[in-house]
């Protein structure tokens, strides 16, 4: 049966619901917006008027279009007004008991053919569906904030969802001008599951003292080209929201990488929720920008490792003297893996610094337990002279960028292999939901499956974290000589 979705209901007109109501109304559907009480209803109306008013001011809507959009929305505090809706989407707070109670009511009130959808970010759609007598007609329709702008909609089907319904809801999302991706019902779906795991990992590495907040942020922004670093993003999402989503992920997976880093709990308990309240990882605005690019006073430099010749040539061109590793004042070891063994073999181990060049803009500057502060500072200076941003870090496997990026890519491979989303859907979810320049499978293709597999092996050997072990599928692809997961039959 092909359904026609013409009349929709939106329950809860807060941050998300008001935006979702606007999206439906803009696409020409009749919308009934339901709020808990008259005051909240007025706030919801205000959100819609405000948002369309801003679009008008920016010239994105005409006065007539705005009036037409607002004219399609009816506001009410009575759920009974949803009796003839074709689809009802719920956007009330993220509390399972509230959602269950609401779906029980909706099931009683709505016509038998109506589809019921939830905008939950992390709760089980299956559990919500199970409170109704129509679990086959319940789906997740996960919009992103701000709903009128963000293109992605995750359409979640459960084991009880009727065949074909998710496709019909996806077609509706396309009619709204959105890009739907189809996902099974696992905590966090695609975006929150992959994103929050990565963000939590960054918080754990910060707590372990791998690098500072700003160094990790710079590494991911400048080294990978992400729109912002993990701590800036955590502050933007809200540390309370992030903490809650991680708890839900952990409850389902029991994977300790989903256990919120203790620093998140501490900041949330202190009321430091991020940008919306109190500041979070970022609080005081530090004065000044990066230190000026002053040529470090280094007598002589030696460069070791793969790419040494090219880097030595750059340093020579910048006017630095080079010498042997035994005699140089500073020894730079180009590496992505710990350099302590190399340092320990030198007459002056305190002069050796690990250096990993990431992309065109970043260089990770790794200090071992023996590296002197002067040597590390000198290498930071050298790095600036050759036009890169230094990221100071400890001497750990895969240093910073790869230590954060590779487990995220591995998680994406596992997600695909578990059959709950396709390669294309995972890629577009991460591009559209997070503004990433490319999806994880595109990144894998660019980096090379073998490089990532080997990096994961090194990470596993260092941290003994079970989920850092390369996904069996990744291992098999490398062994079979397959260059891209897309080449699989
Ligand atoms: N905020 C985000 O970035 C975001 C993104 C995607 C999904 N979500 C999900 O969307 C849902 C809503 O989040 P939000 O940020 O819009 O919350 P919100 O607190 O801004 O809005 C919730 C609204 O629901 C209303 N409400 C509560 N109980 C109700 C009831 N029984 N009937 C009618 N209205 C009721 C409240 O008055 C409030 O206006 C949550 O499930 C959340 O996880 C949020």
Span 398-441, pLDDT tens digits = 999 999 999 999 999 999 999 989 999 999 999 999 999 999 99
Residue 471 is encoded by which pair of tokens?
Answer: 């996904």
Backbone angles phi, psi at 204, to 5 degrees: -65, -45
Question: What is the pLDDT at residue 292?
Answer: 61
What is d(CA 368, CA 394) in angstroms, rounded to the nearest whole number?
6
Q: 10, 12, 247: which to mutate for ligand 1, most atoms within 8 A of CB?
A: 12
Q: What is the mean pLDDT of the chain?
A: 94
Is residue 465 annotated as a catalytic residue, yes or no? no
- Please tell me the predicted confidence (pLDDT) of residue 4: 87
Structural contact between residues 320 and 299, judged by C-beta atoms closer than 8 angstroms: no
Residue 287: per-residue pLDDT: 55
pLDDT bucket at 1, cuts 50 / 70 / 90: low
Q: How far apart are CA 135 and CA 144, in angstroms?
A: 24
Q: Which of 119, 122, 192, 335 is catalytic?
A: 192
The pLDDT assigned to 370 comes to 96
**Residue 229: its pLDDT value, please?**
96
Distance in Å, CA 120 to ligand 1 centroid: 9
Overall fold of domain 7-184: Rossmann fold (3.40.50)
| Domain limits, CATH 1.10.1040.50, in the chain | 198-293+400-489
- In sequence order, the 6+-apart residues with CB closer than 8 A to the CB of 450 are 478
**Separation of CA 488 and ligand 1 centre (Å):** 41
Give the model's confidence band at 293: pLDDT under 50 very low, under 70 low, under 90 confident, else very high.
low
Q: Per-residue confidence at 487, pLDDT binned at 50, 70, 90? A: confident
CATH of domain 300-386: 3.40.50.720
Distance 12 CA to ligand 1 centre (A): 6
Percent of the chain with pLDDT over 90: 90
Is the pLDDT score of 50 beyond 70? yes
Summarised one tens digit per residue, pLDDT across range 223-272 is 999 999 999 999 999 999 999 999 999 999 999 999 999 999 999 999 99
Read off the pLDDT band of 165 (50, 70, 90): very high
Catalytic residue among 119, 121, 122, 242: 121
Alpha-carbon distance of 286 to 284, in angstroms, equals: 6
CATH topology of domain 198-293+400-489: 1.10.1040
Q: Quick check: is 348 catalytic?
A: no
Question: What separation in angstroms does the CA of 80 have from each of 61, 105, 109, 110?
Answer: 32, 9, 6, 8
Ligand 1 center from residue 101 Cα (angstroms): 15
The residue-averaged pLDDT of 31-36 equals: 98
Q: Please name the residue whose Cα sits nearest to atom 21 of ligand 1.
A: 14
The question of whether 142 is a catalytic residue gets the answer yes
188 lines ligand 1 (CB under 6 A): no
Tens digit of each residue's pLDDT (9 = 90 or more) over 275-291: 888 789 998 665 556 66
384 CA from centroid of ligand 1 (Å): 47
Every domain of the chain with CATH number 3.40.50.720 lies at: 7-184, 300-386
Per-residue pLDDT at 296 exceeds 80: no
Q: Which segment of 98-112, 285-299, 417-431, 456-470 scores lowest on mean pLDDT?
A: 285-299
Query: Does 32 contact ligand 1 (Cβ within 6 A)?
Result: no
- Is residue 442 part of the annotated active site? The answer reads no
Token pair listed for 127: 């559990």
Q: From CA 15, how far away is CA 460, in angstroms rounded?
A: 41
- Residue bearing the CA closest to ligand 1, atom 15: 15
What's the mean pLDDT in 196-219? 96
């Amino acid at each position: 049966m092909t359904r026609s979705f013409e009349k929709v209901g939106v329950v809860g007109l807060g941050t998300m619901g008001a935006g979702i109501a606007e999206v439906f109304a803009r696409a020409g559907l009749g919308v009934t917006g339901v709020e808990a009480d008259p005051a909240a209803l007025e706030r919801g109306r205000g959100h819609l008027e405000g948002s369309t008013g801003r679009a008008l001011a920016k010239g994105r809507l005409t006065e007539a279009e705005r009036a037409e959009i607002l004219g399609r929305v009816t506001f009410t505090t009575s759920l009974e007004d949803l009796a003839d809706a074709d689809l009802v989407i719920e956007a009330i707070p993220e509390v399972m008991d509230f959602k269950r109670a609401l779906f029980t009511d909706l099931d009683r009130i709505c016509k038998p053919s109506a589809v019921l959808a939830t905008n939950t970010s992390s709760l089980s759609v299956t559990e919500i569906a199970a409170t109704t007598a129509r679990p086959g007609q319940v789906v997740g329709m996960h919009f992103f904030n701000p709903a009128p702008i963000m293109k992605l909609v995750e359409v979640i089907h459960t084991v009880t969802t009727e065949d074909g319904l998710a496709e019909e809801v996806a077609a509706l999302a396309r009619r709204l001008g959105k890009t739907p991706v189809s996902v099974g019902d696992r905590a966090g779906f695609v975006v929150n599951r992959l994103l929050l795991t990565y963000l939590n990992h960054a918080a754990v590495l910060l707590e372990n003292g791998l690098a500072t907040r700003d160094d990790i942020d710079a590494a991911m922004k400048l080294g990978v080209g992400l729109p912002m670093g993990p701590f800036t993003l955590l502050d933007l999402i809200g540390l309370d929201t992030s903490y809650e989503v991680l708890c839900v992920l952990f409850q389902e997976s029991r994977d300790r990488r989903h256990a919120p880093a203790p620093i998140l709990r501490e900041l949330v308990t202190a009321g430091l929720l991020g940008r919306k309240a109190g500041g979070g990882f970022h609080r005081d605005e530090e004065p000044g920008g990066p230190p000026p690019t002053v040529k470090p006073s280094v007598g002589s430099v030696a460069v070791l490792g793969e790419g040494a010749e090219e880097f030595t040539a750059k340093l020579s061109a910048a006017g630095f003297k080079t010498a042997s590793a035994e005699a140089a004042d500073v020894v730079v070891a180009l590496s992505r893996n710990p350099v302590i063994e190399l340092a320990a073999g030198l007459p002056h181990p305190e002069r050796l610094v690990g250096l990993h060049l990431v992309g065109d803009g970043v260089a990770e500057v790794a200090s071992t337990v023996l590296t002197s502060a002067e040597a590390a500072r000198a290498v930071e200076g050298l790095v600036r002279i050759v036009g890169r941003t230094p990221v100071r870090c400890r001497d750990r496997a895969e240093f910073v960028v790869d230590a954060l990026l590779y487990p995220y890519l591995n998680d994406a491979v596992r997600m695909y292999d578990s059959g709950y989303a396709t390669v294309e859907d995972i890629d577009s979810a991460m591009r559209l939901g997070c503004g990433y320049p490319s999806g994880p499978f595109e990144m894998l293709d660019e980096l090379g499956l073998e490089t990532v597999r080997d990096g994961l092996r090194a990470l596993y050997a260092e941290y003994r974290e079970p989920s850092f072990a390369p996904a069996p599928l990744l291992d098999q692809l490398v062994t079979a000589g397959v260059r891209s997961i897309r080449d699989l039959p």
